[in-house]
Amino acid sequence: MLYVETLIRADLEQVWRLTQDPAQHQRWDLRFTRIEYLSDTVPQRFRYAVTVFPGLTVSGTGVTAGQRVTADGARTSALRFASADPLSLIRDGAGYWRYVPTEDGVRFLTGYHYRPRWRGADTVFRPLMGWATAWSFDRLRLWLEDGIEPETSLRWAVLDVGLRAAVCVGMWWLAGLPLAVVMAVGLTLTPPSPVTPAARRCRRRPPDRLSRTAPAQLSTLELS
């Protein structure tokens, strides 16, 4: 199971709105280019698409249902998804979002699993999916806490990587240090800019049993 968690210092209603509205969700989540609901009934069926490269898009469908309030004030959302696209590395999967109000904000967390279309490719793809999920969660946090819109944070992230890479090349050129060492220090070990998303800011392991337990409504969802 892939797990990601972040703490967002914002109102629970705000977090819920930006994650449950497809038009807003697709703005901050790096894993999706387009999301659209296919029905207004609950559970809601949806279609998603991901542009892997310019001119190359993979798509799939899914079904989702949310439970707005539980006894402790938390909310959950569960989904199942699948893709018949032969170019999609994911065959099908299921997961959940959980929103837990705390004194410091909202614990926003996800747990999900999927079946890969090709196991060999999944050796690289699975860590990439975990990173993309965490990076996106931090992008959402910056939007809600600091008002940095997703499009702006992406531009700043690209600029940040470009500047780091330029510094690394300069160090390599002037100091003659091994390029691999310089790139590792410059791109991964130095602290990220506070205004750009960073996957390292998110928790990647569930801290308790509740966090890694899927909500009950997941068992009632059917794709067909």
For residue range 188-204, list pLDDT tens digits in order.
667 788 999 999 999 99
Say how far apart CA 24 and CA 91 lie, in whole Å.
Answer: 25
| Count of helices and strands (H, E) across the chain | 6, 7
pLDDT at 181 over 70: no
The predicted pLDDT at position 180 comes to 65
Per-residue pLDDT for 65 more than 70? yes
What local confidence, expressed as pLDDT, does residue 68 receive? 67
| Model confidence band, residue 171 (pLDDT cutoffs 50, 70, 90) | low
For residue 49, pLDDT over 70 is answered with yes
| Mean pLDDT confidence for 150-176 | 79
The domain spans of the chain are: 2-148+207-220, 149-194
Tell which wins on pLDDT, 77 or 162: 77
Select from 221, 26, 90 the least CA-distant residue to 36: 26
Cβ pair 133, 110 in contact under 8 A: yes
Rounded to an integer, what distance in angstroms lies between the CA atom of residue 115 and that of residue 19?
24
Task: Give pTM, 2 decimals.
Answer: 0.90
pLDDT for position 136: 98
Q: Which tokens sit at 125?
A: 């793809």
The answer to which of 6-10, 33-37, 49-53 has the lowest mean pLDDT is 49-53
Mean of all residue pLDDT scores within the chain: 89
Look up the CATH architecture of domain 2-148+207-220: 2-Layer Sandwich (3.30)
